[in-house]
């Protein structure tokens, strides 16, 4: 890392209330922020939406614009269910594969298209794989978005049993945590090849996760809803 990059990172890290990514919510409410990514998908999104409705929960969906073009009816279902739309990218290629200027142009264009497709303002961005450099973080900010990472995952891209997924998520989440889950699985059509999709009923998993949180006295909420009563917790997290 060059001295200039070290100085910039030190400045960002020293200004956490302004800089960095949202990694949680400081709140007095017994909520956990539920987020989904890599959709929309006709195989996963409807079941997830049904589970959220049954539990009276809301979530933030970080969507891929390439999929949103293909499944606009699922965008409508997400919004109609009282959930929040956010951007995950035009595709699932790591933003760190691009220069700052290209990352900015790609992200700005994807934000604009998602807003046109959904009729909703888009505020949040989650970088594919959570990969971001100082440069791509700045590009995303220039595009008018705030980056959002996570506290714990649902292990739903791993080939493990449902009980393990639920136990892992519930064990690592607490009041104000952000859970990373998936209503889709990115593949070659999304610009990447991460191998075969694990066998998981995403709707059933969503129901079990929400039940597990309920046993801990936690209610699932979208990020925007959680921030109405709380304050964003930020950390400067960068991938070199």
Tens digits of pLDDT across the chain (240 residues):
555 554 555 555 544 445 699 999 999 999 999 999 999 999 999 999 999 999 999 999 999 999 999 999 999 999 999 999 999 999 999 999 999 999 999 999 999 999 999 999 999 999 999 999 999 999 999 999 999 999 999 999 998 998 999 999 999 999 999 999 999 999 999 999 999 999 999 999 999 999 999 999 999 999 999 999 999 999 999 986
CA torsion 32→37→238→225, rounded to 10°? Answer: -40
Question: What is the reported pLDDT for 16?
Answer: 41
Question: What is the reported pLDDT for 10?
Answer: 52
Report if pTM > 0.85. Answer: yes
Question: What is the reported pLDDT for 9?
Answer: 56
Question: What is the reported pLDDT for 110?
Answer: 98
SS3 track for 97-165 = HCCHHHHHHHHHHHHHHHHHHHCCCCCEECCHHHCCCHHHHHHHHHCCCEEECCCEECCCCCCCCHHHH
Residue 107 and residue 115 in contact, taking contact as beta carbons nearer than 8 Å: no
Question: What is the reported pLDDT for 17?
Answer: 44
Cα separation, 224 vs 10, in Å, equals 29
Question: What is the reported pLDDT for 204?
Answer: 97
Does residue 40 have a cis peptide bond before it, meaning omega lies within 30 degrees of 0?
Answer: yes
Question: What is the reported pLDDT for 15?
Answer: 45
Question: What is the reported pLDDT for 239?
Answer: 81
Question: What is the reported pLDDT for 43?
Answer: 96
Question: What is the reported pLDDT for 44?
Answer: 98
């Amino acid at each position: 890392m060059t001295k200039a990059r070290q100085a910039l990172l030190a400045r960002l890290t020293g200004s956490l209330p302004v800089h960095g990514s949202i990694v949680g919510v400081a709140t007095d409410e017994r909520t956990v922020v539920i987020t989904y990514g890599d959709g929309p998908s006709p195989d996963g999104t409807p079941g997830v939406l049904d589970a959220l409705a049954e539990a009276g929960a809301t979530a933030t969906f970080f969507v891929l614009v390439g999929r949103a073009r293909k499944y606009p009816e699922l965008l409508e279902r997400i919004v109609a269910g009282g959930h929040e739309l956010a951007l995950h990218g035009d595709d699932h290629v790591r933003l760190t594969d691009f220069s700052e200027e290209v990352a900015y142009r790609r992200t700005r264009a994807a934000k604009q298209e998602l807003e046109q497709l959904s009729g909703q303002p888009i505020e949040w961005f989650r970088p594919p794989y959570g990969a971001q450099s100082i440069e791509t973080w700045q590009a995303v900010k220039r595009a008018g978005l705030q980056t959002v990472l996570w506290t714990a995952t649902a292990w739903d891209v791993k080939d493990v049993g449902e009980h393990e997924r639920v136990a892992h998520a519930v064990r690592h989440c607490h009041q104000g945590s952000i859970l990373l889950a998936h209503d889709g699985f990115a593949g070659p059509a999304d610009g990447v090849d991460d191998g075969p999709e694990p066998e998981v009923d995403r709707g059933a998993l969503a129901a079990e996760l929400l039940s597990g949180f309920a046993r801990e006295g936690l209610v699932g909420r979208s990020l925007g809803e959680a921030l109405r009563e709380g304050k964003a917790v930020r950390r400067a997290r960068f991938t070199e």
